[in-house]
Structure 1
Amino acid sequence: MVFRCAIDAHWTLHFASDGVEALTGYRPDELEGNAVVSLEALIHPDDRASVREVIDEACRGVGRYRVKYRLQHRDGTDRWVLGRGAVVRDEQGERVLEGFIEDVTEQLTRQRLLADAELRYRSIFEDSVIGMFQTSIDGHYLAANRALADLYGYDSPEALIAGLSDIATRLYVDPTRREEFTTLIREHHRVADFESEVYRRDGSRIWIAENAHVVFGPDGQPLYYEGTVEDVTKQHGYRKQLEYQATHDPLTGLPNRNLLQDRLQQALRQAQRRGSRGALAFVDLDNFKFVNDSLGHGAGDRLLVEVARRLKASVRESDTVARYGGDEFVLILGDYEGLSDTLHILHRIQDVVGAPIALQGHQIHVNCSIGVSVFPDDGGDLEVLLRHADAAMHHAKTLGKGQFQFYTESLNVAARERLALDSALRQAIEQDGLHVVYQPKVGAHGQLYGFEALVRWDSEAFGSVSPARFIPLAEENGLIGHLTWFVLRHACHQAATWRAQGHGHLRVAVNISPSLFREKDLAALVQSVLDAAGLPPENLELEITEGMLMGDVQRALAVLKELKAMGVFIAIDDFGTGYSSLAYLKRFPIDILKVDRSFVMECDLGNEAVAITRAIVSLAHSLNLRVVAEGVETASQLAVLNALGCEEFQGYLFAKPLPGPEAAAFLDAAPAA
Structure 2
Amino acid sequence: MARSRALVATRQQLEAQRRIQAMIAREAPLPEILAATCRMLEGQLPGAICSIMLADAEKPVLRLASGESLPQAYREAVQEVGIGPGLGACGSCAHSRELVVSEDIANDAGWRGFRTVAVAAGLRACWSYPLLARDDRLLGTFATYYRQPAGPAEDELEMVRKAAGLVALAVERHADRRSLWESEQRYRSLFAYNPDAVFSLDRRGHFVTANASCASITGYPLEEILGSHFERFLAPEDVERIQAHFERTMAGEPSHYPLTIVDQESGKRQLELTNLPVVVDGKVQGVYGIAKDVTQRQENETRLRLLERSVEASVNGVLIADATRADLPVVYANPAFQRMTGYDREDVLGRNCRFLQGEETDPAAIEQIRRHLAEWREVHVTLCNYRKDGTPFWNDLYISPVRNEAGAVTHFVGVQHDISAHKAYEARLAYHASHDVLTGLANRAMLEDRLSHDFALAQREGRLLAVLFIDLDEFKPINDSLGHAVGDQLLVEASRRLASAMRPGDTLARLGGDEFVALLPDLHHHEQALDVAERLLPLLARPYRVDDHELHLTGSIGIAVSGEGADEPMALIQQADMAMYRAKQQGRNAYQWFTPEVMTQLGERVALRNELQGAIETEAFELHYQPLLDRAGRVASVEALLRWPHPERGYISPAVFIPLAEDTGQIIPISRWVLQRACRDMRALAKAGQGELPVAVNLSPLQFHRSNFLASLRQTLAETGLPARQLALELTEGVLMDDTEGAIDILHALRGMGIAVAIDDFGTGFSSLSYLKHLPIHTIKIDRSFVDEVTRSRDDEAIIQGILSMAHHLDLEVVAEGIECEAQHRLLMAHGCDRFQGFHFARPMPLDWLVAFLDERAPTLL
TM range (shorter): 0.3 to 0.5
Q: TM-score, normalised by structure 2?
A: 0.35
